[in-house]
Amino acid sequence: MKVVITGGTGMLGRRLALRILARPELEGPDGTAQNVEKVVLFDAFDPVETPPEDPRVEIVTGDICDRATVDELIDGATDSVFHFAAVVSGGAEADFDLGYAVNLDGGRNVLEAARRTGRCPKIVFTSSLAVYGGERSVDDSTALTPQTSYGTQKAIGELLVNDYTRKGFVDGRTLRLPTIVIRPGKPNAAASGFASSILREPLQGDEVGNPVTPESRMLILSPKRAVQAFIDIHNADGAALGMNRALMMNGISPMVSEMLDGLRRYAGDAVADRVRSEPDALIQEIVDGWAWFSDGARARALGMEPDASLQEIIETFVNEELDGSFVS
């Protein structure tokens, strides 16, 4: 099978590609795992991390907003598309037009290109907790009342995926992700970025500012569990998903103080003391608008599991990204 991953050299795209290349796991229409002959990693940027070294990988750099580019990318041989390309929350809030161009029009380009293939490819769309707003606890049937442009664009994408699927143009599935923690690499423009930074930077020997109150809660999920969830939702029985193809993925819901206490227990005082309070009213306001508890019954029924604990999240990061050791 041929798989296209937009945002394919980014954090989740790259890790999903590595996983897909490692062994046949993505299922075809007959429900059996298929050999992957080609994985196209499409991105607007040159890779920050080393891309997978595999003859089946093709890296394409381009603009998701350009319809001709996307039409060429998602061709008649494409079986499955994972659509990660997006302007993140803080970026979409700072640049209204860019956010709509990439997150809304770029998503429409992906759906239109897939539709034109005439073979109803699978489209796995990445949504976010940010589609909710003002609710502390959410489930699959909670009304979407986004309070950011990013959340609005993701909610619109979900509606489009459902409609294109209903019409038989694509076989769409949407995964609403919790905040991904611990993201490796450098901070990005996501308003949620601090939730990774306050754990990642101290483990690597760097000081870091925490922009929110200790009582702030976040719904979080590790990159490893997120990649597993994308494979699970790709392989889920479409008929069982029904007309609403969006699933809320579960996570764990620590307070920021619990995250920092967990860091202290795992790595010691010297590491935990590298976090200083640096209140940021804008980030606090955005975070306060997010749900921090999810009861995603549909994801659970599909066997999609969150991390067991904060300890697991920190250990996974240290083992996978820091070769098993941190700067004490």
- Binding interface with its own copies (CB under 8 A): 96, 133-134, 141-147, 149, 152, 155-156, 159-160, 162-163, 166-167, 243-244
Nearer CB in complex with its own copies: 101/189: 101
Distance in Å, CB of 164 to its own copies, minimum: 9
Distance in Å, CB of 139 to its own copies, minimum: 10
- Show the CA angle centred on residue 224, arms to residues 113 and 163, nearest 5°: 30
Dist. CA 180–CA 224, nearest whole Å: 10
Beta partners for residue 82, in sequence order: 5, 124
List CB contacts of 30: < 8 A, sequence separation 6 or more.
none
Nearer CB in complex with its own copies: 141/311: 141
Helix H or strand E encompassing 210 = strand 208-210
Beta partners for residue 41, in sequence order: 5, 59
Distance in Å, CB of 321 to its own copies, minimum: 35
Pairing of strands 57-61, 38-43: parallel
Dist. CA 196–CA 184, nearest whole Å: 8
Q: Which of 100, 132, 150, 266 is catalytic?
A: 150
Asked if 26 and 227 count as a contact pair (C-beta separation under 8 A), the reply is no
Nearer CB in complex with its own copies: 79/171: 171
Cis peptide preceding 64, ω within 30 of 0? no
CB atoms within 10 A of CB 29: 12
CA-atom Rg of the chain in angstroms: 19
Does residue 150 carry a catalytic annotation? yes
Distance in Å, CB of 100 to its own copies, minimum: 8
Nearer CB in complex with its own copies: 41/92: 92
Nearer CB in complex with its own copies: 27/158: 158
CB atoms within 10 A of CB 264: 16
Distance in Å, CB of 237 to its own copies, minimum: 19
Which residues are part of the catalytic machinery? Answer: 150
